[in-house]
A and B are shown apart, each in its own frame.
Chain A
Amino acid sequence: MTPGQTPSQTVGPFFAYGLTAEQYGYPFNSLFPPRIAEPRAAGEHIRITGRLFDGDGKTIPDAMVEIAHVDADGNPVTSREAAVASGFRGFGRCGTGTSADQSFEFHTIKPGVAAPGSAPHVNVIVTMRGLLVHAFTRLYFEDEAAANAADPVLDSVPVERRATLIAKRIALPEGVEYRLDIQMQGPDETVFFDL
């Protein structure tokens, strides 16, 4: 037996040169860049963006967001070799400290259906200075209304809070963007899960 789970501690304000070095211009290569899908990867190429807000409604400039999702056919990436072959790595990281408006921005593909009955979704981890344990949430897609209505996880969320998990679809000349802001606190506090 072990003494029990190692406690979580905050990621702190200075993670960038270790965890997101290339994005922030530090001389250390990144294992998990914010580009999750290469242009050759199969599926609908999209951008996923958003901002994080604190309890005063201020944008958070020193958060790190990690997202993970299945490929366009609904299959998880199960090996490095598979990721290299397909051009889709299934996981990415982005700090909120390099864009003018403190957005995170991922280049990826729209995920398929991971399991029968579930709606396409993205798993999200947020962590930052002031967060002693990372927080887990999900991103769903506005244009998947029928699938969202049947999704068992969304169904477990009180109706009035579901909108905090649903990204807006914005068609731009350069491609489709899904935008979801994450509210750490407040009347529209994002739903976080005890995963």
Chain B
Amino acid sequence: MDNKSLTRPLTPRDWTSHSPYIHPDYRSTVLRGPKRPLLPIKTQLADLAAPVYGHEDIGELDHDLTRNARRNGEPLGERIIVAGRVLDERGRPVPNTLIEIWQANAAGRYIHKVDQHDAPLDPNFLGAGRCMTDSDGRYRFLSIKPGAYPWGNHHNAWRPNHIHLSLFGSSFASRLVTQLYFPGDPLLALDPIFLGTPEKARDRLISKFTLGLTEPGFALGYEFNIVLRGDAATPMEK
């Protein structure tokens, strides 16, 4: 294989599944989203190497947000398990791929210095984690259910409970930054960020409660599968 070009045509980004850049209900988009049409670029003309990393880069507790920042006890809140698979559009697993997550604590407060929401920090909770998928594309996090929090987008605006996720997949072009929501959250119907997504694709952002992932006496389980752009064609054998 010619390792100089790494030309792997991907399935195109499906713009009918993604928000437009300018979505005025989400005020920050108005001055920040590009206004001119994106220019096409042939993937054959792009070097598409994804960043390199390995299982040895991931700490033993990186996937367990209930334990990876403890100082003097357990974090407060409802323990949850978030697990699922990373797949490409044909349903093929994306193995050994990195998932990074970050979230608010159970009170709806981010540890980020800029978050001034008047809710308590939890000394035993950072809210950041990561893991890699296994050979079958499966991943699993332990965490605390994040709280809702207010934001300044409009009067009495509250973000639904959510977890942020960042993935690369197998190519620089399959990059995805997204958010996971929880089933039955009444704030979803009011959230301009969630509602920026075309209606047909919104359900893909909502995790599913499942007893199968729930551990008796320990934590509720939520399934969240992630679908990335994948190779447009089956690799040819040489």
Contacts and interface: CB of A to CB of B under 8 A. Distances in A.
Contacts of B196: 132
Contacts of B18: 5, 7-8, 132-133
Contacts of B101: 18
Contacts of B175: 125, 134
Interface in B1-34: 3-6, 12-14, 17-21, 23, 26-34
A1 B164 CA distance: 25
Interface in A30-58: 31-32, 54-56, 58
B100 A131 contact: no
Contacts, number: 256
B164 to A, nearest CB: 6
Q: Specify the main secondary structure of chain A where it touches its partner.
A: loop
Contacts of A192: 34, 36, 38-39
Nearest to B57: A31
A23 interface: no
Given A4-B14, A77-B52, A132 B20 contact: yes
B214 interface: no
Contact of B229 (A5, A58, A89, A189): A5
A127 B178 CA distance: 11
Given A4-B227, A5-B229, A19-B100, A14 B110 contact: yes
Interface stretch (B75-83, B86-94, B182-190, B215-223): B86-94
A7 B205 contact: yes
Interface stretch (A100-108, A152-160, A166-174): A152-160
A131 B33 contact: yes
A153 B45 contact: yes
Given A9-B193, A80-B53, A83-B52, A55 B17 contact: no
A184 interface: yes
Interface centre among A6, A16, A58 (most CB of B within 10 A): A6
Contacts of A54: 31-32
Contacts of B56: 80
B238 interface: no
A5 B3 contact: no
B52 A90 contact: yes
B38 A2 contact: no
Contact of A123 (B47, B57, B227): B47
A12 B130 CA distance: 18
Contact of B21 (A56, A131, A195): A131
B213 interface: no
- Report, nearest first, the 9 A-B pairs whose CB atoms are least far apart: A130-B28, A18-B102, A130-B32, A132-B19, A91-B51, A76-B49, A18-B128, A14-B112, A194-B38
Interface of A: 1-19, 21, 24, 26-29, 31-32, 54-56, 58, 60, 62, 68-70, 74-80, 82-83, 89-91, 97, 114-115, 118, 123, 125, 127-136, 152-153, 156-157, 184-185, 189-195
Given A189-B36, A192-B38, A195-B173, 15 more contacts: A3-B203, A4-B89, A6-B176, A9-B193, A17-B102, A26-B111, A31-B100, A89-B52, A91-B51, A123-B47, A132-B20, A133-B21, A136-B41, A156-B39, A195-B46
17 contacts: A1-B91, A7-B202, A9-B19, A13-B112, A14-B112, A68-B49, A75-B3, A76-B47, A80-B53, A80-B56, A91-B51, A114-B47, A125-B172, A128-B32, A153-B45, A156-B40, A194-B40
